[in-house]
Amino acid sequence: MTSDHYLIPLLQALVRIPSPNPPGDTRAIAQFIADEMGAAGCAVSQVAPPAKPEAVSVIARVGQGDPVIMLHAHIDTVPIAHDEAGKWSVDPYAAVVKDGRLYGKGSVDDKAPLAAMMIALQHAAQHVERLRGTLVLVAAAEEEVGGRLGTRWMADAGLLPQCDFIVVGEQTHNHVATAHKGVMRATVRTTGKSVHATNPDRGVNAITAMARAVLALDEYHKSLQTRVHPMVGTPSCNVGVIQGGSTANAVPDACAVYLDRRMIPGEDPAEVQREMEAVIASVDASPAQISIGDFLVSNWFASTVETPLARTFMDCVRAGLPGDPGPIGYLPGSDAKHLTGVVRGEMVIFGPGSYEVAHAFDEYVDVAELHITAQILIDFVHRTLIQG
Protein backbone atom coordinates (compact mmCIF):
# COMPACT_ATOMS: atom_id res chain seq x y z
CA MET A 1 0.00 0.00 0.00
CA THR A 2 1.45 3.37 -0.94
CA SER A 3 0.30 6.71 0.30
CA ASP A 4 -1.05 9.16 -2.19
CA HIS A 5 1.22 11.06 -4.57
CA TYR A 6 -0.94 14.06 -3.72
CA LEU A 7 0.46 14.14 -0.16
CA ILE A 8 3.40 16.47 -0.80
CA PRO A 9 1.54 18.94 -3.07
CA LEU A 10 -1.19 19.01 -0.43
CA LEU A 11 1.27 19.84 2.34
CA GLN A 12 2.85 22.50 0.12
CA ALA A 13 -0.55 24.11 -0.39
CA LEU A 14 -1.18 24.10 3.38
CA VAL A 15 2.22 25.69 4.17
CA ARG A 16 1.61 28.36 1.52
CA ILE A 17 -1.46 29.59 3.42
CA PRO A 18 0.09 31.34 6.44
CA SER A 19 -1.78 30.82 9.73
CA PRO A 20 0.42 32.40 12.43
CA ASN A 21 -0.99 32.70 15.93
CA PRO A 22 -1.02 35.40 17.13
CA PRO A 23 -3.06 36.76 15.47
CA GLY A 24 -4.67 33.36 14.86
CA ASP A 25 -6.81 34.16 11.84
CA THR A 26 -7.37 30.70 10.30
CA ARG A 27 -10.18 31.57 7.91
CA ALA A 28 -8.14 31.07 4.72
CA ILE A 29 -6.58 27.74 5.64
CA ALA A 30 -9.87 26.47 7.09
CA GLN A 31 -11.64 27.31 3.83
CA PHE A 32 -8.99 25.40 1.86
CA ILE A 33 -9.31 22.33 4.10
CA ALA A 34 -13.11 22.48 3.96
CA ASP A 35 -13.04 22.68 0.15
CA GLU A 36 -10.65 19.72 -0.12
CA MET A 37 -12.61 17.55 2.29
CA GLY A 38 -15.94 18.54 0.72
CA ALA A 39 -14.64 17.67 -2.75
CA ALA A 40 -13.59 14.26 -1.43
CA GLY A 41 -17.17 13.58 -0.32
CA CYS A 42 -16.90 14.30 3.40
CA ALA A 43 -19.56 16.12 5.42
CA VAL A 44 -17.83 19.34 6.45
CA SER A 45 -18.51 22.14 8.90
CA GLN A 46 -16.49 25.24 9.71
CA VAL A 47 -16.91 26.47 13.26
CA ALA A 48 -15.60 29.41 15.29
CA PRO A 49 -16.22 30.66 18.81
CA PRO A 50 -18.21 33.91 19.18
CA ALA A 51 -15.30 35.32 21.20
CA LYS A 52 -12.93 34.99 18.20
CA PRO A 53 -14.87 34.52 14.96
CA GLU A 54 -11.70 34.52 12.82
CA ALA A 55 -10.37 31.43 14.67
CA VAL A 56 -12.09 28.97 12.35
CA SER A 57 -11.71 25.21 12.83
CA VAL A 58 -12.89 22.50 10.44
CA ILE A 59 -14.72 19.28 11.33
CA ALA A 60 -14.98 16.79 8.46
CA ARG A 61 -16.48 13.34 8.67
CA VAL A 62 -17.06 10.35 6.47
CA GLY A 63 -19.13 7.24 7.19
CA GLN A 64 -21.54 6.66 10.03
CA GLY A 65 -22.05 4.68 13.21
CA ASP A 66 -19.49 3.01 15.42
CA PRO A 67 -16.60 2.86 15.87
CA VAL A 68 -15.90 6.58 15.78
CA ILE A 69 -12.24 7.41 15.12
CA MET A 70 -10.95 10.98 15.28
CA LEU A 71 -7.82 12.31 13.61
CA HIS A 72 -6.90 15.69 15.11
CA ALA A 73 -4.30 18.23 14.00
CA HIS A 74 -4.00 21.96 14.59
CA ILE A 75 -3.97 24.46 11.74
CA ASP A 76 -2.43 27.49 13.46
CA THR A 77 1.36 27.92 13.68
CA VAL A 78 3.62 29.99 15.87
CA PRO A 79 4.43 33.37 14.29
CA ILE A 80 7.86 34.10 12.83
CA ALA A 81 9.83 35.64 15.70
CA HIS A 82 11.80 38.90 15.23
CA ASP A 83 15.18 37.23 15.72
CA GLU A 84 14.15 34.32 13.50
CA ALA A 85 13.17 36.10 10.28
CA GLY A 86 16.71 36.66 8.97
CA LYS A 87 17.85 33.13 9.77
CA TRP A 88 15.65 31.21 7.34
CA SER A 89 17.61 29.87 4.36
CA VAL A 90 14.36 29.68 2.35
CA ASP A 91 11.10 31.64 2.23
CA PRO A 92 9.17 30.24 5.25
CA TYR A 93 5.91 30.21 3.30
CA ALA A 94 7.23 28.89 -0.06
CA ALA A 95 7.17 25.19 0.97
CA VAL A 96 10.47 24.46 -0.78
CA VAL A 97 11.41 20.78 -1.14
CA LYS A 98 15.16 20.27 -0.96
CA ASP A 99 17.25 17.15 -0.24
CA GLY A 100 14.23 15.12 0.83
CA ARG A 101 12.90 17.76 3.21
CA LEU A 102 9.94 20.07 2.90
CA TYR A 103 10.73 23.41 4.57
CA GLY A 104 8.32 25.98 5.91
CA LYS A 105 6.67 27.58 8.92
CA GLY A 106 4.24 24.99 10.19
CA SER A 107 5.61 22.32 7.85
CA VAL A 108 6.12 19.79 10.65
CA ASP A 109 4.04 21.52 13.34
CA ASP A 110 1.36 20.76 12.48
CA LYS A 111 0.59 20.77 8.77
CA ALA A 112 2.47 17.51 8.02
CA PRO A 113 0.25 15.33 10.23
CA LEU A 114 -2.74 17.36 9.02
CA ALA A 115 -1.91 16.53 5.37
CA ALA A 116 -1.48 12.82 6.20
CA MET A 117 -4.85 12.85 8.01
CA MET A 118 -6.58 14.58 5.09
CA ILE A 119 -5.22 11.86 2.77
CA ALA A 120 -6.56 9.21 5.17
CA LEU A 121 -10.04 10.78 5.05
CA GLN A 122 -9.91 11.01 1.27
CA HIS A 123 -8.97 7.35 1.23
CA ALA A 124 -11.91 6.42 3.46
CA ALA A 125 -14.23 8.52 1.27
CA GLN A 126 -13.08 6.59 -1.82
CA HIS A 127 -14.22 3.38 -0.11
CA VAL A 128 -17.37 4.80 1.43
CA GLU A 129 -19.58 1.90 0.30
CA ARG A 130 -17.43 -0.48 2.36
CA LEU A 131 -17.00 1.84 5.32
CA ARG A 132 -18.27 0.53 8.68
CA GLY A 133 -17.96 3.32 11.22
CA THR A 134 -17.10 7.00 11.24
CA LEU A 135 -13.82 8.77 10.54
CA VAL A 136 -13.65 12.36 11.78
CA LEU A 137 -11.00 14.96 11.00
CA VAL A 138 -10.69 17.88 13.39
CA ALA A 139 -8.48 20.64 11.97
CA ALA A 140 -8.26 22.92 14.98
CA ALA A 141 -7.43 26.59 15.43
CA GLU A 142 -5.84 28.11 18.57
CA GLU A 143 -3.58 25.23 19.69
CA GLU A 144 -0.46 27.39 19.80
CA VAL A 145 -2.06 29.71 22.35
CA GLY A 146 -3.48 26.94 24.54
CA GLY A 147 -6.56 25.71 22.69
CA ARG A 148 -9.13 27.42 24.88
CA LEU A 149 -10.92 28.96 21.86
CA GLY A 150 -10.12 25.99 19.64
CA THR A 151 -10.36 22.37 20.73
CA ARG A 152 -11.51 23.18 24.28
CA TRP A 153 -14.32 25.33 22.93
CA MET A 154 -15.38 22.70 20.34
CA ALA A 155 -15.46 20.00 23.02
CA ASP A 156 -17.43 22.15 25.49
CA ALA A 157 -19.85 23.33 22.78
CA GLY A 158 -20.75 19.71 21.96
CA LEU A 159 -19.38 19.95 18.42
CA LEU A 160 -17.20 16.84 18.75
CA PRO A 161 -18.60 13.30 18.84
CA GLN A 162 -17.72 10.74 21.50
CA CYS A 163 -14.81 8.79 20.03
CA ASP A 164 -13.55 5.25 20.44
CA PHE A 165 -10.03 6.23 19.46
CA ILE A 166 -8.26 9.55 18.85
CA VAL A 167 -4.97 10.29 17.12
CA VAL A 168 -3.61 13.75 17.95
CA GLY A 169 -1.05 14.70 15.31
CA GLU A 170 2.17 16.13 16.76
CA GLN A 171 5.88 15.45 16.33
CA THR A 172 6.84 12.01 17.64
CA HIS A 173 8.97 10.68 14.75
CA ASN A 174 6.04 8.36 14.06
CA HIS A 175 6.25 6.81 17.50
CA VAL A 176 3.17 6.46 19.69
CA ALA A 177 3.11 8.86 22.62
CA THR A 178 0.63 8.32 25.43
CA ALA A 179 1.55 11.00 27.97
CA HIS A 180 2.68 14.59 28.29
CA LYS A 181 3.24 16.89 31.24
CA GLY A 182 0.97 19.69 32.34
CA VAL A 183 2.00 23.23 33.29
CA MET A 184 1.02 25.46 36.17
CA ARG A 185 2.07 29.10 35.99
CA ALA A 186 2.08 31.31 39.07
CA THR A 187 3.39 34.69 40.27
CA VAL A 188 5.02 35.34 43.64
CA ARG A 189 5.04 38.92 44.90
CA THR A 190 6.82 40.56 47.82
CA THR A 191 5.98 44.01 49.11
CA GLY A 192 8.29 46.12 51.30
CA LYS A 193 8.86 49.77 52.03
CA SER A 194 10.92 52.08 49.85
CA VAL A 195 13.41 54.52 51.40
CA HIS A 196 16.61 56.22 50.22
CA ALA A 197 19.57 53.83 50.07
CA THR A 198 21.63 56.04 52.35
CA ASN A 199 19.80 54.47 55.30
CA PRO A 200 18.32 51.21 54.03
CA ASP A 201 17.49 49.76 57.44
CA ARG A 202 14.58 52.20 57.71
CA GLY A 203 12.98 50.47 54.71
CA VAL A 204 11.90 46.92 53.92
CA ASN A 205 13.71 45.36 50.97
CA ALA A 206 11.30 43.38 48.77
CA ILE A 207 14.16 41.83 46.74
CA THR A 208 15.90 40.44 49.83
CA ALA A 209 12.61 38.88 50.90
CA MET A 210 12.15 37.42 47.43
CA ALA A 211 15.65 35.94 47.53
CA ARG A 212 14.51 33.72 50.40
CA ALA A 213 11.45 32.69 48.41
CA VAL A 214 13.57 31.81 45.36
CA LEU A 215 15.79 29.55 47.47
CA ALA A 216 12.73 27.87 49.00
CA LEU A 217 11.33 27.27 45.52
CA ASP A 218 14.63 25.70 44.48
CA GLU A 219 14.44 23.32 47.45
CA TYR A 220 10.86 22.53 46.45
CA HIS A 221 12.04 21.76 42.90
CA LYS A 222 14.67 19.37 44.26
CA SER A 223 12.10 17.65 46.48
CA LEU A 224 9.97 16.90 43.40
CA GLN A 225 12.65 14.68 41.87
CA THR A 226 11.47 11.69 43.88
CA ARG A 227 8.21 11.64 41.88
CA VAL A 228 8.88 9.82 38.62
CA HIS A 229 6.51 9.06 35.77
CA PRO A 230 7.77 6.20 33.56
CA MET A 231 7.34 8.16 30.32
CA VAL A 232 7.71 11.85 31.03
CA GLY A 233 10.07 11.84 34.01
CA THR A 234 9.83 14.15 37.01
CA PRO A 235 7.90 17.31 37.90
CA SER A 236 9.81 20.58 38.11
CA CYS A 237 9.55 24.13 39.41
CA ASN A 238 11.43 26.86 37.58
CA VAL A 239 11.78 30.55 38.48
CA GLY A 240 11.85 32.03 35.00
CA VAL A 241 11.58 35.79 35.49
CA ILE A 242 12.39 38.15 38.35
CA GLN A 243 11.36 41.80 38.40
CA GLY A 244 11.96 44.39 41.10
CA GLY A 245 13.54 47.70 41.98
CA SER A 246 14.17 50.75 39.83
CA THR A 247 17.48 52.23 40.95
CA ALA A 248 20.49 51.22 43.06
CA ASN A 249 20.04 54.14 45.44
CA ALA A 250 16.62 53.18 46.75
CA VAL A 251 15.29 50.23 48.76
CA PRO A 252 12.87 48.37 46.45
CA ASP A 253 9.31 48.09 47.73
CA ALA A 254 8.10 45.45 45.23
CA CYS A 255 9.44 42.32 43.59
CA ALA A 256 7.78 39.61 41.50
CA VAL A 257 8.88 36.25 40.12
CA TYR A 258 7.11 34.18 37.49
CA LEU A 259 7.07 30.42 37.98
CA ASP A 260 6.64 27.45 35.68
CA ARG A 261 5.67 24.26 37.51
CA ARG A 262 5.55 21.18 35.28
CA MET A 263 3.13 18.51 36.44
CA ILE A 264 3.42 14.82 35.63
CA PRO A 265 0.34 12.67 34.90
CA GLY A 266 -1.39 11.83 38.17
CA GLU A 267 -0.60 15.12 39.91
CA ASP A 268 -3.79 16.93 40.93
CA PRO A 269 -3.52 20.61 39.91
CA ALA A 270 -5.47 21.69 43.02
CA GLU A 271 -3.03 19.77 45.22
CA VAL A 272 -0.03 21.22 43.35
CA GLN A 273 -1.41 24.70 43.92
CA ARG A 274 -1.75 23.97 47.65
CA GLU A 275 1.87 22.73 47.74
CA MET A 276 3.14 25.93 46.17
CA GLU A 277 1.05 28.04 48.53
CA ALA A 278 2.57 26.08 51.43
CA VAL A 279 6.12 26.67 50.14
CA ILE A 280 5.49 30.42 50.00
CA ALA A 281 3.73 30.43 53.40
CA SER A 282 6.84 28.80 54.91
CA VAL A 283 9.16 31.60 53.72
CA ASP A 284 10.24 34.00 56.46
CA ALA A 285 9.83 37.23 54.49
CA SER A 286 9.04 39.39 57.51
CA PRO A 287 8.68 42.32 57.68
CA ALA A 288 7.96 42.22 53.94
CA GLN A 289 4.63 40.82 52.74
CA ILE A 290 4.67 37.78 50.46
CA SER A 291 1.93 36.20 48.36
CA ILE A 292 1.47 33.76 45.48
CA GLY A 293 -1.30 33.95 42.90
CA ASP A 294 -2.28 34.21 39.22
CA PHE A 295 -2.41 30.42 38.94
CA LEU A 296 -2.89 29.23 35.38
CA VAL A 297 -3.26 25.54 34.56
CA SER A 298 -2.68 23.60 31.36
CA ASN A 299 -3.33 20.00 32.25
CA TRP A 300 -1.30 16.87 31.58
CA PHE A 301 -2.51 14.00 29.47
CA ALA A 302 -2.05 10.24 29.84
CA SER A 303 -3.58 7.25 28.13
CA THR A 304 -3.06 3.54 27.83
CA VAL A 305 -2.99 1.50 24.60
CA GLU A 306 -5.01 -1.53 25.60
CA THR A 307 -8.29 -1.41 23.65
CA PRO A 308 -8.51 -3.38 20.38
CA LEU A 309 -8.41 -0.14 18.35
CA ALA A 310 -5.28 1.05 20.16
CA ARG A 311 -3.64 -2.34 19.72
CA THR A 312 -4.44 -2.26 16.01
CA PHE A 313 -2.93 1.21 15.80
CA MET A 314 0.24 -0.06 17.49
CA ASP A 315 0.35 -2.95 14.97
CA CYS A 316 0.09 -0.50 12.06
CA VAL A 317 2.91 1.63 13.48
CA ARG A 318 5.02 -1.48 14.06
CA ALA A 319 4.44 -2.52 10.44
CA GLY A 320 5.50 0.90 9.15
CA LEU A 321 8.46 1.67 11.40
CA PRO A 322 11.76 -0.02 12.00
CA GLY A 323 12.32 -0.46 15.74
CA ASP A 324 10.21 0.01 18.84
CA PRO A 325 7.07 2.14 18.24
CA GLY A 326 6.62 2.99 21.93
CA PRO A 327 4.57 4.00 23.78
CA ILE A 328 6.73 6.99 24.63
CA GLY A 329 6.24 10.29 26.44
CA TYR A 330 5.89 13.58 24.58
CA LEU A 331 7.60 16.59 26.16
CA PRO A 332 5.57 19.60 24.96
CA GLY A 333 1.85 19.89 25.61
CA SER A 334 -0.88 19.28 23.02
CA ASP A 335 -4.61 19.56 22.43
CA ALA A 336 -4.96 15.98 23.76
CA LYS A 337 -5.66 17.46 27.21
CA HIS A 338 -8.84 19.07 25.84
CA LEU A 339 -10.14 15.85 24.28
CA THR A 340 -10.34 13.64 27.36
CA GLY A 341 -14.07 14.44 27.65
CA VAL A 342 -14.90 13.20 24.16
CA VAL A 343 -12.93 9.95 24.20
CA ARG A 344 -14.64 6.85 25.55
CA GLY A 345 -11.68 4.74 24.36
CA GLU A 346 -8.02 5.72 24.19
CA MET A 347 -5.96 8.50 22.67
CA VAL A 348 -2.42 8.74 21.32
CA ILE A 349 -0.12 11.43 19.96
CA PHE A 350 1.52 10.54 16.67
CA GLY A 351 3.16 12.21 13.70
CA PRO A 352 6.36 12.74 11.74
CA GLY A 353 9.36 14.82 12.75
CA SER A 354 10.63 16.31 15.96
CA TYR A 355 9.25 19.08 18.14
CA GLU A 356 12.84 20.30 18.36
CA VAL A 357 12.69 21.64 14.79
CA ALA A 358 9.20 23.08 15.33
CA HIS A 359 8.96 26.71 16.46
CA ALA A 360 12.38 27.49 14.90
CA PHE A 361 13.92 28.77 11.66
CA ASP A 362 14.24 26.28 8.79
CA GLU A 363 11.46 24.12 10.22
CA TYR A 364 11.08 21.08 7.99
CA VAL A 365 9.53 17.66 7.67
CA ASP A 366 11.33 14.69 6.17
CA VAL A 367 9.32 13.72 3.09
CA ALA A 368 9.97 9.98 3.42
CA GLU A 369 8.95 10.07 7.07
CA LEU A 370 5.71 11.89 6.21
CA HIS A 371 4.89 9.22 3.60
CA ILE A 372 5.25 6.60 6.37
CA THR A 373 2.87 8.63 8.58
CA ALA A 374 0.25 8.64 5.84
CA GLN A 375 0.74 4.92 5.12
CA ILE A 376 0.28 4.05 8.79
CA LEU A 377 -2.93 6.10 9.01
CA ILE A 378 -4.32 4.61 5.79
CA ASP A 379 -3.41 1.10 6.98
CA PHE A 380 -5.19 1.82 10.27
CA VAL A 381 -8.32 3.07 8.48
CA HIS A 382 -8.32 -0.07 6.34
CA ARG A 383 -7.94 -2.46 9.24
CA THR A 384 -10.56 -0.78 11.44
CA LEU A 385 -13.18 0.82 9.20
CA ILE A 386 -13.09 -0.63 5.69
CA GLN A 387 -14.60 -4.05 5.15
CA GLY A 388 -13.41 -6.64 2.65
Residue 369 or residue 379: which is nearer to Zn ion going by CB? 369
By CB under 5 A, which span of 3-11, 110-118, 359-367, 369-377 interacts with Zn ion? 110-118
Q: How far is the CB of 20 from Zn ion (least distance, A)?
A: 13
Residue 165 or residue 330: which is nearer to Zn ion going by CB? 330
Residue 180 or residue 189: which is nearer to Zn ion going by CB? 180
Residue 88 or residue 355: which is nearer to Zn ion going by CB? 355
Residue 254 or residue 349: which is nearer to Zn ion going by CB? 349
d(CA 79, CA 85): 10
163 - beta bridge partners?
343
Cβ neighbour number for residue 97 with a 10 Å cutoff: 17
Give the x-and-dash track for 119-158 against Zn ion (CB under 5 A).
Answer: ----------------------------------------
With binding defined as CB under 5 A, does residue 109 bind Zn ion?
yes
- Beta-strand pair 328-330/177-180: parallel
By CB under 5 A, which span of 102-110, 200-208, 292-300, 365-373 interacts with Zn ion? 102-110
Q: How far is the CB of 211 from Zn ion (least distance, A)?
A: 37
Q: How far is the CB of 334 from Zn ion (least distance, A)?
A: 7
Cβ neighbour number for residue 99 with a 10 Å cutoff: 8
Residue 112 or residue 263: which is nearer to Zn ion going by CB? 112
Q: How many residues bind Zn ion (CB under 5 A)?
A: 3
With binding defined as CB under 5 A, does residue 275 bind Zn ion?
no
Inter-residue contact 20 to 80 (CB < 8 Å): yes
Buried b (16+ CB within 10 A) or exposed e, 355-386: bebbbbbbbbbbbebbbbbbbbbbbbbbebbb
- Peptide bond between residue 20 and the one before it cis (omega within 30 degrees of 0): no
| Closest by CA position to 10, among listed 91, 143, 99, 123 | 123
Radius of gyration of the chain (CA): 24
Q: How far is the CB of 207 from Zn ion (least distance, A)?
A: 38
Inter-residue contact 175 to 320 (CB < 8 Å): no
With binding defined as CB under 5 A, does residue 267 bind Zn ion?
no
With binding defined as CB under 5 A, does residue 110 bind Zn ion?
yes
State the residues that interact with Zn ion by CB under 5 A: 109-110, 170
